[in-house]
């Protein structure tokens, strides 16, 4: 039986099956474990894109870590929030006006897309959340008076366009932004003040009174690096990026082959 007292798991690329859903085996394993150990979803997703998965797993009463650590919810209430500052949003929109890549703006439960294009449809299909269509300039107009920032920006477009945005943000805001390139056509942007690890640390300190070594975490991508390296048992799914496989304490099956569930079954001696 594992001595670990809390479990954190990434979602996309880690927890979901080929249909981008929770498999019956994963549901069964989580249902057995939730009686004894907290299980927390930790993702770059927005809250609504995680609630239905919590329901499937019967962990609706557990905290949620959204936007790569930029927003933490406990009992449905915000207990931590860190936004990308408004001036950076303005700067990026100006830079992109000549390029016209898709930039999605996220803040808490809001998701704004410039138009209902290929990228918006794809994200809607992946997350089961419908965006609100509003041009970037209009979003900025609404947010400017209150200097509201974004919990996440998602830049999507052809590889060379995303290359330009990545380079621009790296050159100008390297000290303020985390840039996660999950694939050539996707760039996720978050505040550099937060990561999945900072969010885990906050929950462990403030709510569970546990240490990092008490935690198990599962992940597959660059934004999981610090988390997997720092917890007691950082486990990579078999399809993880090479850099993630390198630092993982253990490697399990592919995410789409129930890697998380199979690993937990073994660790906790479940039937």
Task: Identify the pLDDT of residue 99.
Answer: 85
pLDDT in tens, 96-129: 998 889 999 999 999 999 999 999 999 999 999 9
Domains in the chain (CATH in brackets) are 6-81+194-267 (3.40.50.1000), 86-191 (3.30.1240.10)
Question: How far is 233 from 248, CA to CA, in rounded Å?
Answer: 8
Task: Identify the pLDDT of residue 1.
Answer: 59
Contacts of 262 (CB under 8 A, 6+ apart): 25, 252, 253
**In the chain, how many H helices and how many E strands?**
10, 14
Task: Name the DSSP class of 85.
Answer: P
Contact 237, 2 (CB under 8 A): no
Task: Identify the pLDDT of residue 163.
Answer: 96
Question: How far is 110 from 132, CA to CA, in rounded Å?
Answer: 8
33-52: average pLDDT: 96
Question: How far is 8 from 231, CA to CA, in rounded Å?
Answer: 10
Whether the per-residue pLDDT at 2 is higher than 80: the answer is no
- Arithmetic mean of pLDDT over the chain: 96
Contact 49, 128 (CB under 8 A): yes
Q: pLDDT confidence of 243, banded at 50, 70, 90?
A: very high
Task: Identify the pLDDT of residue 6.
Answer: 98
pLDDT in tens, 164-217: 999 999 999 999 999 998 889 999 999 999 999 999 999 999 999 999 999 999
Task: Identify the pLDDT of residue 41.
Answer: 98
Task: Identify the pLDDT of residue 151.
Answer: 98
Query: Could you give the percent of the chain with pLDDT greater than 70?
Result: 100
Task: Identify the pLDDT of residue 183.
Answer: 87
Task: Identify the pLDDT of residue 182.
Answer: 81
Q: Which of 258, 263, 190, 257 is nearest to 228 (CA)?
A: 263
What are the DSSP E strand ranges found in 139-199?
152-156, 177-183, 186-191
């Amino acid at each position: 039986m594992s001595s670990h007292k809390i479990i954190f798991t990434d979602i996309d690329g880690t927890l979901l099956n080929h249909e981008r859903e929770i498999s019956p085996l994963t549901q069964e394993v989580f249902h057995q474990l939730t009686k004894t150990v907290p299980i927390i979803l930790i993702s770059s997703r927005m809250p609504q894109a995680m609630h239905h998965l919590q329901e499937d797993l019967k962990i609706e009463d557990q905290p949620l870590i959204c936007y790569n650590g930029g927003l933490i919810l406990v009992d449905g209430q915000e207990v931590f929030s860190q936004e990308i500052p408004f001036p950076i949003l303005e700067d990026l929109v100006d830079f992109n006006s000549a390029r016209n890549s898709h930039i999605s703006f996220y803040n808490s439960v809001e998701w704004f897309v410039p138009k209902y294009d290929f990228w918006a449809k794809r994200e809607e299909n992946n997350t089961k959340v419908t965006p609100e269509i509003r041009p970037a300039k209009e979003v900025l107009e609404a947010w400017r008076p209150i200097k509201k920032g974004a919990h996440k920006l998602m830049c999507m477009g052809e590889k060379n366009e995303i290359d330009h945005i990545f380079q621009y943000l790296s050159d100008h805001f390297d000290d303020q932004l985390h840039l996660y390139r999950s694939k050539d056509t996707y760039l996720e942007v978050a505040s550099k003040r937060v990561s999945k690890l900072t969010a885990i640390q906050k929950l462990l300190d403030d709510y569970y009174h546990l240490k990092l070594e008490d935690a198990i975490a599962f992940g597959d991508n660059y934004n999981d690096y610090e988390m997997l390296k720092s917890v007691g048992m950082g486990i990579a799914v078999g399809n993880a990026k090479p850099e993630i496989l390198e630092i993982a304490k253990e490697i399990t099956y592919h995410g789409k082959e129930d890697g998380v569930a199979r690993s937990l079954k073994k660790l906790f001696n479940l039937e």
